[in-house]
Amino acid sequence: MNPASPTGNADADNGDSAGFAQRVSVEQVEEGHELAPKFDADGLIPAITTDADSGEVLMLGYMNAEALRRTIATGEAHYWSRSRQCLWHKGATSGFVQRVVELRIDDDQDALWMRVRIEGGASCHVGYRSCFYRSVPLGDHAAEADALRFVEDAKTFDPKAVYGDAPNPTRL
C-alpha cells in the first residue's frame, strides 16, 4: 500500500480500486457498462459539480475511490480534501449538503460531472453560491490591475458564523 495516496493504493492511477471494474481495454472503458474510473497518480479524479436546475457550475472538487463509493452509496457528495488530506462530506459542517441528482463519467472515465441540489443553496466556503464567483477579463482588459470582476453580488452566508475558527482550506 502507498500510505501517501488518498486511496492507500499504489496502483490508484489504473482505476484498480476495490469496488470498481478493472480497466482492461479501450472499448470496455469507452463503450462498456462497467464503472472503471481512472484515478491520477495521487489517487484522485476531478469532479465538476453543477446546479441540477440552472446548470450553473458550482465547484471543481476531487474524489478518491472512497469518496466516489460514498457518493454513489449515499446520494450525497463526498470529496477528498487536498488541503486537509481527508475525506470530506460536503455540507457536514455547513449544512449545505449536495444531494446528487445525476452522476456522469466522461468518455475515458477520468473525470466526473455531478448535478446536485444544495440545501441552503451555497457551495463555496468563502460564502458565495458558486466557487466561480469572479470573472477573468479577456483581451484589452486582461492587463488591468485588480481586473477580476465579481459576478455574484452578495454572499449566501457568513463563513465566520458557519465555520467559526476552523482553519481556512485555501493554501497559498
Tell me the CATH class for 12-121. alpha beta
pLDDT at residue number 140: 81
Residue 25, beta-bridge partner list = none
Give the range with max mean pLDDT: 14-28, 31-45, 118-132. Answer: 31-45
Tens of pLDDT, residue by residue over 136-170, are 999 887 777 778 999 998 999 999 999 899 888 88
pLDDT at residue number 128: 95
For the chain, which residues make up each domain, given as ranges?
12-121
CB 29 within 8 A of CB 108: yes
Return the C-alpha cell found at 84.
486537509
pLDDT at residue number 113: 99
What pTM was computed for the model?
A: 0.85
Phi then psi for residue 85, to 5 deg, are 55, 50
Beta strand spans in the chain (E): 45-51, 57-63, 78-81, 86-89, 98-105, 112-118, 134-135, 149-150
Identify the CA nearest to 35 among candidates 110, 87, 88, 99.
110
Phi then psi for residue 108, to 5 deg, are -100, 15
The dihedral sign for the CA sequence 83, 89, 93, 98: positive
Write the Ramachandran bin of 120: left for phi over 0, alpha for psi from -120 to 50, otherwise beta.
Answer: left
